[in-house]
Structure formats: structure tokens, C-alpha cells
Amino acid sequence: MSNLGQLIEIPTHGDERGSLSVAEIGGVLPFVVRRAYWIHGTKPGVARGFHAHRKLNQFCVCVSGSVRIVLEDAKGREDVFLNRPDRGLLIGPGVWREMHDLSADCVLLVLADGEYDEADYVRDRQKLT
Amino acid sequence: MSNLGQLIEIPTHGDERGSLSVAEIGGVLPFVVRRAYWIHGTKPGVARGFHAHRKLNQFCVCVSGSVRIVLEDAKGREDVFLNRPDRGLLIGPGVWREMHDLSADCVLLVLADGEYDEADYVRDRQKLT
């Protein structure tokens, strides 16, 4: 359950071979992806994020390990725990995000609808409207 | 080194927090992504793939663990070992691919330029031209 993000069950084909999870246009992926990144090898105790985006949409999946994501806007703050490769979290513009408690084996995949643009970042939480 | 695929070094920002690897348009990602999938929880001894695509382009990254990918076309066959989240393998149309020796912690991320289309699959190796 999340009010600030949208939790999405990712279709997963599991059989005797193992599992394959799919996010595609026409399925659970709501935009074409122009930027993909993955966070890995995070040191113990390190938190990341601490920004919002003005326009960017992101689809986040913890494909290995676990992470606690904190979402916040002017109305509230909440924790979302991601620890499954078949669960996505869609985060839209104007939502502050922090990543905490990344496990040693955490790989957090982020699919985004735009390339890196420093002007799209809000790094001062006080400026969230 | 690969003749049938293209190995790509993925820009990775490493600092005291850990690492973040990026594939984006204008960078190492050669197409917008309409389908993303990730293979995980593969059982020991299981191999996957065993097909080629007629038109699809795929960008593969082993973001956790390791996998041996076999590529083949009418001219030859080769092994490509992927075991780093900062190494991508671009596989174009007409190349037969198999995935072998997936480690228990292997997560193989595949970014593709088209949605699933059964008509795009070549599942009979004899039909490779």
C-alpha cells in the first residue's frame, strides 16, 4: 500500500526453470524508457536519493535483496519496503524519495522516461510544493 | 570480446556510498526501451533462451551473479561470460542465444526495443540464415 507511489504487481512467468518478470508497454510499463540505472554494491548504513523530480517518472524494482524507500510530499511521508523482483513502485513528479536500509545484495533497478537532467532535480526538501 | 554481440562498458558512478550504473539514450543505450524483463531464481542446471529474433534488439546486463551466454549465427558460435553490473551485451537480430550456468543469485536484466511478439521468434536453429 502506498499513497505517494503506486505499487505494481509485475507479471512473472514461473515454471520449472525459474522466473522471468516482465514490464512492457501495453502491460505494466506506463512509458517508454529512455534511461535505466541500477544501484548496487551499496555500503552498509548508506542512504541514497534525497531529491524529488519536477517531471520525471520512474519505475523502481528491487530485483535482488531489499530496500526501504521513503516517499514524501507536502501532505505526508511513508515507507515502502521493496524486496521482491515481481513488485514495482511507480514514483511520479513532485515526490521526495530516499532509499534506506539497502541490503548488501540489493540491486535497485530504476526505469525512467527521460535522460538525466540536473534541472529536473529538486534537492531542497523545503521547496516541495 | 564478442563478434556476434557487442560488449559495452556501462558508465558507473562509484563513490563512498556504492555504485550506480547508467544506460541512457545519448549514452550507451542505443534504443528506447519498450520491454524490460529480468530472469531470476533460475534452478541449478537450467539453461534458457534457445531462440533468435527476427527484428528485436536487446541489451543484456547480469546485474547480480553470473551467466554464460552462447551466441551463434550461420558463421560461428561463441561464449560470452557476464558477471558484472557494469557490462552490457547488445544482441541484434538473427543471432541465436542460449543462457547457461546461471548462478543461484543471477539476475539477468534484458532491455528490448519492442514488446513481446511471438512472430519475431526463430525457435528452430536450422532456420538461421
Digitized pLDDT (tens) for each residue of chain A, 129 residues in all: 678 999 999 999 998 899 999 999 999 999 999 999 999 999 999 999 999 999 999 999 999 999 999 999 988 999 999 999 999 999 999 999 999 999 999 999 999 999 999 999 999 988 876
By the 8 A CB rule, do A100 and A93 touch?
Answer: no
Q: Which residues of B touch A46 (CB under 8 A)?
A: 16-18
Superfamily name and number for A1-11+28-105:
Jelly Rolls (2.60.120.10)
pTM score: 0.97
**Of the candidates A61, A42, A36, the residue with the CA atom closest to the CA atom of residue A105:** A42
Q: Looking at the complex, does the CB of residue A41 fall below 8 Å from at least one CB of chain B? A: yes
Predicted local confidence at residue B67, as pLDDT: 98
Kindly determine whether residue B61 and residue A38, on different chains, have CB atoms separated by under 8 Å: yes
Which strands, in side-by-side order, build the sheet including A18-24?
A12-15, A18-24, B35-40, B107-112, B58-64, B87-91, B6-9
B51 labelled catalytic: yes
Mean pLDDT of B119-127: 93
Query: Which ipTM was obtained for this model?
Result: 0.96
Model pLDDT for residues B57-111, shown as the tens digit of each residue: 999 999 999 999 999 998 899 999 999 999 999 999 999 999 999 999 999 999 9
A118 touches chain B (CB under 8 A): no
Residue A22 identity (one-letter amino acid): V
Q: Which fold, B6-11+28-123?
A: Jelly Rolls (2.60.120)
